[in-house]
Amino acid sequence: MVTRYGADDGVPTLAAALLDLLNTDELKRLATLTPKRAPTRKDDLLEHLLEHLAGDRLRAVWQGLDELEKAAVAEVVHSGERRFPASRFRAKYGRLPDFGSLDRSSRGGHVSPLRFFFIGDGNVMPDDLRERLAAFVPPPAEATVTSVDALPAVHEEPFSQGTDAPPFFVRETERTASRELLSVLRLVDSGKVSVSATTRRPSAAAVDAITTVLDGGDYYPFQPPRDGRDDENAGPHPGLRMAPARPGGRARAALGLEAAADEGGTQGADRSSRPDPEDGLVEVAREHLPRRAVANRLRQGTDR
């Protein structure tokens, strides 16, 4: 029984990749990069291409690649992947290598030698080819992050053709964070923030209440959708993030104000309750604010 391979499954051998992932016309196009006259039958084309990449000829073909194309080969050879990682490669190197096209009908199409290493539309590198390349292909360069002293006015590369480059802006949040935290804690203490025990998500009313006390509101202002199928709102971000994660939480129990009451803080706290370590909001409060200060500020309704 003949096993046929698909691009998503990975292919164990170069021969299987050429046979299953390319048709005869595509093999003929790829064979135009070889120095010898190419045959016309598919089986003969397969043998012709395998001979072109046999032994030390594989190294010679690799040496004929430019630096970006060599980087593309190295990224797959020295990773656990079988397919070319286009998104990650673009993020690391700034652009993609030229894969050309094996489609004769492609307008202005040309054949790239990278097609010897990445087979088919899925750009798959066969397992046996990767093992052979690992013997002489050096590891790719480490990813680096370039820093700048000051942000440019706009993003230098538009996200798509025909659109303006989006502007950069800086939003300082260090000082506003503590004020927003106390405002949210007061909402929790007043019982205006509830979390579903089933979904562990805050109610819409809770998110709206939190959003109203944030400096500048949400990151993405709500825009009324034109219809039910065309809602481009990103949804709440700070309001959802700052809501307590514990279902049915109350400020006195969640913040451990029973302990604050023992220290002279708010009276009447539920002494049987204990802080929930899963409540991210509580952990922030404990880390940045003294317990007595939290209790006093909630009681007095002032920010110090």
In whole angstroms, what separates CA 300 from the centre of its chain?
44
Confidence at 234, pLDDT banded by 50, 70, 90: low
pLDDT at 106 over 90: no
Predicted confidence at residue 236, as pLDDT, reads 66
pLDDT at 262 over 70: no
pLDDT at 116 over 90: yes
Confidence at 241, pLDDT banded by 50, 70, 90: low
User: Cα–Cα distance between 150 and 76 in angstroms, integer?
Assistant: 35
Q: What does the H/E/C string look like for 185-227?
A: HHHHHCCCCCECCCCCCECHHHHHHHHHCCCCCCCCCCCCCCC
Predicted confidence at residue 230, as pLDDT, reads 66
Specify the pTM.
0.55
Report the pLDDT averaged over residues 43-71. Answer: 96
Q: Say how many CA atoms lie within 13 Å of 258 toward its Cβ.
A: 11
Residues with Cβ within 8 Å of residue 80, at least 6 apart in sequence:
none
Report the pLDDT averaged over residues 205-211. Answer: 84
Report the pLDDT averaged over residues 46-75. Answer: 96
User: What are the angstrom distances between the C-alpha of 173 and each of 48, 152, 187, 283?
Assistant: 64, 20, 20, 19
Predicted confidence at residue 213, as pLDDT, reads 85
Predicted confidence at residue 33, as pLDDT, reads 94
Predicted confidence at residue 270, as pLDDT, reads 45
| Residue 30 contacts residue 38 (beta carbons within 8 Å) | no
| Residue 304 contacts residue 297 (beta carbons within 8 Å) | yes
Predicted confidence at residue 178, as pLDDT, reads 84
- Out of 17-21, 192-196, 236-240, least confident range: 236-240
pLDDT at 268 over 70: no
Read off the amino acid at residue 131: E
Report the pLDDT averaged over residues 47-65. Answer: 96
| Residue 115 contacts residue 129 (beta carbons within 8 Å) | no
pLDDT at 276 over 70: no
User: Cα–Cα distance between 143 and 2 in angstroms, integer?
Assistant: 42
The tokens describing 48, both together, are 């012709």
Confidence at 191, pLDDT banded by 50, 70, 90: confident
User: pLDDT tens digit string along 136-151?
Assistant: 999 999 988 888 888 8
Predicted confidence at residue 267, as pLDDT, reads 42
| Residue 32 contacts residue 111 (beta carbons within 8 Å) | yes
Predicted confidence at residue 198, as pLDDT, reads 83
pLDDT at 292 over 60: no
Q: Which residue has the higher pLDDT, 283 or 177?
A: 177
Please give the mean pLDDT across all residues of the chain: 76
Predicted confidence at residue 107, as pLDDT, reads 58
The pair phi, psi for residue 124, each rounded to 5°, is -95, 135
Residues with Cβ within 8 Å of residue 114, at least 6 apart in sequence:
65, 69, 72, 73, 97, 98, 99, 100
pLDDT at 277 over 50: no
Percent of the chain at pLDDT above 70? 65
